Every structure is written in structure tokens, then in C-alpha cells.
């Protein structure tokens, strides 16, 4: 061993002793949020996870009337759980506050996998900082045909229920479904779900940062119930489609 390599070894031994161990990529939350589950006893049932985008620390975008994505979608999710009474199993998780987006989505996918989630939907609303922005879309990973089939059904339902809505993106001829690549926001949520065989999508039902004919119906008063009723309808149609 030459002097230099001895020096090097000693250097790294000393540095190594002081170095903080890297934290594992998936951290377990200290107090694990219990998933709320509808139909908890029916393990075999088709299972949909409604996951509110963002966390209570980072609530996401704000609407023109100061509602955050997180608080709005929390109401939507609770409404769906209260008003859906079909055969599909529903679960939800809060994204732990202390986790970065990257480790949180990885953790969420693992939790969803553990309880056999079949389809994971992350709820958002859109904000572009542009007054003229309009449109609804579901974001899925490009080429994910299973998720595409669900997104198609949900989009058809959206258009049928909300005639004032428009679609912004077109993917594989389906209005309103947007294929994501690695650089797109939200990609990693779907990536980690897909890696575990879970169909997934992000929902961006409207742009809310300016008051307009598409945002107002949802953002004023009990408008969140409209979106909740929409998801209940989607679940009923999904039940039919899957012959449950």
C-alpha cells in the first residue's frame, strides 16, 4: 500500500464516521395514517384509491377565492366516501407532511400495493396564471392502456355531466386524456403506481385561479359536491363496466 492510498483510506474512514447515513428511500411515517376504507371486509373487491394531491403543509395552488387544492379535494373525497354505496372498495391516504413529493409518491404506491388497490386517482385542480386557460384533463403515463380505458370512461362522464366544460388535450384520439412523459408534473405518482401494476391517473378537472364559467360552478358555495357527485357516478359506471 503506497502512502497515497493509505492516506486516502484513512481520509475516507474519518469522513465516513462523520457522514450522516442516507435515509432510506421510503420512510415510514411516525404515526402511520390509517387508510379510510369503504367496504373494508371485501378484500377481493375492485379497489380505488382517491388520493388528494398535495399535503397540509404544501396545499398546492389557490383558487381565485383562496381555496387550496388540498382543502377543496379533501371535501370532494369525503363527500364521495359518504355518498357512494356500491361494491367498489374505496381507500384514501393523506400524503405525510414531512415527506418530499418524490418519497411520498413512492410510499403511497407501496401502501396501495399492500392493500391491493387496482386504480389510484390523485385529485388536483389546475392553475396556469393565465386568464384564458380552460379545460379538463386526466393525466396518465403514455402508453398505459389500462389507465387509458378508465380515463376514457371518466372523461365521457365529465362531458355528459358538465356541458360547460371543455377539453384541452388530446391523447390517442380521446378528448381530455393527456399522456405524460418523465418531465411532466405528476409523472412520478403514476410511475410508481404503474411499477406495482396499479392503474393510475391525475385529475385536473378545471382551472381555478381565475373566476370563469368553468371554475365558478365548482368553487362557489357547495360546488365541491358537484365534483363529488361526478366521482360517485364514475364509480357506478365503473361497477357496471367491470360487471361487479
The contact set with Zn ion (CB under 5 A) reads 53, 60, 69, 124
Ordered DSSP codes for 73-88: HHHHHHHHHHH--SSS
Quote the least distance from Cβ 11 to Zn ion, whole Å. Answer: 45
Quote the least distance from Cβ 124 to Zn ion, whole Å. Answer: 3
CA distance 82 to 85: 8
**Which DSSP letter does residue 42 get?**
-
Quote the least distance from Cβ 242 to Zn ion, whole Å. Answer: 28
Contact 161, 233 (CB under 8 A): yes
Contact 59, 69 (CB under 8 A): yes
Question: Rounded to 5 degrees, what are φ and ψ at 168?
Answer: -105, -35
C-beta closer to Zn ion: residue 86 or 101: 101
C-beta closer to Zn ion: residue 45 or 61: 61
C-beta closer to Zn ion: residue 52 or 118: 52
CA distance 171 to 143: 10
C-beta closer to Zn ion: residue 60 or 228: 60
CB-nearest residue to Zn ion: 124
Quote the least distance from Cβ 16 to Zn ion, whole Å. Answer: 40
Amino acid at each position: 500500500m503506497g502512502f497515497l492510498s493509505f492516506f486516502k483510506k484513512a481520509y475516507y474512514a474519518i469522513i465516513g464516521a462523520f457522514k450522516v447515513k442516507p435515509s432510506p428511500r421510503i420512510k415510514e411515517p411516525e404515526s402511520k395514517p390509517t387508510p379510510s376504507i369503504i367496504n373494508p371486509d371485501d378484500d377481493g373487491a375492485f379497489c380505488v384509491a382517491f388520493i388528494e394531491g398535495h399535503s397540509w403543509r404544501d396545499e398546492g395552488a389557490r383558487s381565485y377565492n383562496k381555496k387550496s387544492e388540498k382543502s377543496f379535494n379533501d371535501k370532494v373525497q369525503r363527500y364521495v366516501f359518504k355518498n357512494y354505496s356500491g361494491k367498489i372498495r374505496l381507500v384514501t391516504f393523506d400524503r405525510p407532511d414531512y415527506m418530499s413529493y418524490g418519497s411520498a409518491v413512492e410510499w403511497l404506491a407501496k401502501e396501495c400495493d399492500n392493500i391491493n388497490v387496482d386504480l389510484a386517482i390523485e385529485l388536483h385542480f389546475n392553475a396556469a396564471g393565465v386568464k384564458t386557460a380552460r379545460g379538463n384533463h386526466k393525466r396518465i403515463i403514455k402508453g398505459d392502456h389500462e389507465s387509458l380505458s378508465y380515463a376514457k370512461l371518466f372523461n365521457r362522464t365529465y362531458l355528459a355531466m358538465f356541458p360547460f366544460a371543455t377539453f384541452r388535450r388530446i391523447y390517442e384520439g380521446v378528448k381530455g386524456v393527456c399522456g405524460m412523459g418523465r418531465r411532466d408534473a405528476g409523472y412520478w405518482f403514476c410511475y410508481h403506481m404503474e411499477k406495482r401494476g396499479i392503474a393510475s391517473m391525475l385529475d385536473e378537472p378545471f382551472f381555478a385561479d381565475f373566476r370563469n364559467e368553468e371554475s365558478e360552478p365548482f368553487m362557489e358555495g357547495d360546488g365541491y359536491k358537484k365534483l363529488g357527485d361526478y366521482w360517485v357516478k364514475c364509480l357506478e359506471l365503473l361497477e357496471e363496466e367491470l360487471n361487479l
